Amino acid sequence: MAIKRCEASIDVVKAAEIRITNVFRNGLPVYMSFSGGKDSICLAQLVFNLIQRGKINPGQLTVQFIDEEAIFPCIEKTVLNWRKKFMLLGAKFEWFCLEVKHFNCFNELSNDESFICWDSEKEDVWVRRPPSFAIRSHPLLRPRKDAYQDFLPRTCSDGITLTGVRVAESVQRLMYIASSTKTGKNITGRRQIYPIYDWTNKDVWLYLKNQKVDIPDIYLYLWQSGSSKSQLRVSQFFSIDTARSLVKMNEYYPDLMERIIRREPNAYLAALYWDSEMFGRRSRNRREIEKGEAKKDYEAELIKMFSNMDFYFATKHKMNVANKYKNFFLQVHTLVDQEGCRQIYEGLISGDPKSRTLRALYQIIYGSYIEEAKKIEKGENLNEQ
């Protein structure tokens, strides 16, 4: 799908404030998803400022935080501070510590929804204890079956949800939001609004600086440890986005890795194999490690795996992912070279539970094919002239 970008006559901050104000003008309950990360902090600061300026009613607002148990101490501290700020303004703040499923990139290298936050069967090895005021159960929750993406929309069905999703985070988010709004709609089927969807990374950091907002220390630690701006993403420990930082952060949180491994023994894989195809990495360290090894025929590897699916993909989750990749490979195998096969192979090997990598591969491979076709067509036209 082609996406057209249009410049507006106002800046992204003003645009976000207008979107938020319009949501509150509906008079419906307003829910705001909050994670303690940089994007949700920007959204929280926008809402906070509008409340202080008397533009929106805090009585309509309920802030919702899903505590995923395995979070950095500074994230917990940040959320506690924002909870206090919103409650002082008259808004509600729901802090959920529930048994929801979460993606675990260390589970049999399959990156599936196998981690149960606040698992009642593993209380003795919890990464941390829940706050005393946390909501531990809910009538709309199916414990151990729901992910928080399944549960939260049920609690917000009577209102509209504000979420700090940005298209700059990934091609997949860009495509999703573009498809959601292409018919003129400004709200998703789950009644979600993305007030800062068009903010870039620079917009986020500049806004936080200008507003003098405190950010979790983890971002500073990641920067100090050599992470690039695009890698400053924080989530639950066993997500692929955060797994990269576990080893580096042991310097700043000395007992953290010990607690994490006690909770999820396979987490040691991050220390041993982060720079490998296991995690889909293409780093300088990986190139050094693999120097001198025989080049892999990725097309042959894919054919071998797809020819013996039951052997290579032993679980239902792995098989579902593999079937998607197999169908995609059959569609594009005449278009891709070894580099394209490598991308498909590593997306499959490293796990792709939400099909994010697969959707990106659609864009990359078909996009490259179209660009190459345009060049050929242009060259033929020039020759004819």
Is 96 in the same domain as 148? yes
Q: What percent of the chain has pLDDT over 70?
A: 72
Candidates 45, 360, 81, 54; CA nearest to 203 is 45
**Do residues 53 and 86 both lie within one domain?**
yes
Is residue 181 included in any domain, yes or no? yes
**Does 265 map to a domain?**
yes
Per-residue confidence (pLDDT) for residue 85, from 0 to 100: 98
Q: Higher model confidence: residue 292 or residue 152?
A: 152
| pLDDT mean over 151-173 | 83
Q: Where residue 90 falls among pLDDT bands split at 50, 70, 90?
A: very high
Residue 1: the pLDDT is 46
Domain boundary among 167, 185, 210: 210
Span 156-169, average pLDDT: 89
| Rounded average pLDDT over 352-381 | 74
Domain count, the chain: 3
> Is residue 322 in some structural domain?
yes
Return phi, psi of residue 268, to 5°: -65, -20
pLDDT of residue 278: 52
Whether residues 144 and 229 share a domain: the answer is no
Q: Which amino acid is at 321?
A: V
Both 172 and 257 in one domain: the answer is: no
Residue 43 belongs to some domain of the structure: yes
204 with 55, same domain: the answer is: yes
Q: Is residue 7 part of a domain?
A: no
Higher pLDDT, 58 or 283: 58
Q: What is the mean pLDDT of residues 356-383?
A: 74
Whether residue 5 is contained in a domain is answered as no
Any idea which of 10-14, 51-55, 241-245 has the lowest mean pLDDT? 241-245
Task: Please determine, for residue 153, whether its predicted confidence score (pLDDT) is greater than 60.
Answer: yes
Residue 213 scores a pLDDT above 50 = yes
**Same domain for 51 and 198?**
yes
Identify the band that residue 101 occupies on the pLDDT scale cut at 50, 70 and 90: confident
Q: Are 123 and 330 in contact, with CB atoms under 8 Å apart? A: no
Task: Single out the residue in 210, 225, 260 at which a domain terminates.
Answer: 210
User: Domain end: 181, 210, 239, which one?
Assistant: 210
Classify residue 3: in a domain, yes or no. no
The CATH number of whichever domain residue 76 belongs to comes to 3.40.50.620
Examine the pLDDT at 286 and tell me if it is beyond 60: no
Residues 126 and 173 reside in one and the same domain = yes
Domain enclosing residue 91, as ranges:
12-210
Q: What is the pLDDT of residue 107?
A: 58
pLDDT surpassing 80 at residue 93 = yes
pLDDT at 380 over 70: no
Do 244 and 200 reside in the same domain of the chain?
no
Q: What angle do CA 181, 186, 187 make, to 5 degrees?
A: 100
Do 31 and 169 share a structural domain? yes
pLDDT value of position 2: 46
**To 10 degrees, the CA torsion angle through 351, 352, 353, 357?**
170
Q: Give the global pTM.
A: 0.72
pLDDT at 353 over 80: no
Please say if the pLDDT value at position 66 is more than 80.
yes
List, as own/partner pairs, every contact residues 336-343 make where C-beta atoms lie below 8 angstroms and the sequence separation is at least 24, other chains included: 336/365, 338/297, 338/298, 338/299, 340/364, 340/365, 340/368, 341/298, 341/299, 341/301, 341/302, 342/296, 342/298
Contact 162, 45 (CB under 8 A): no
Residues 107 and 151 in one domain: yes
Residues 183 and 322 placed together within one structural domain of the fold: no
Residues 33 and 163 in one domain: yes
Per-residue tokens: 149? 């993406």
333 versus 44: the higher-pLDDT residue is: 44
Question: E strands of the chain, at which residues?
Answer: 30-34, 61-66, 92-96, 101-104, 112-116, 160-162, 192-193
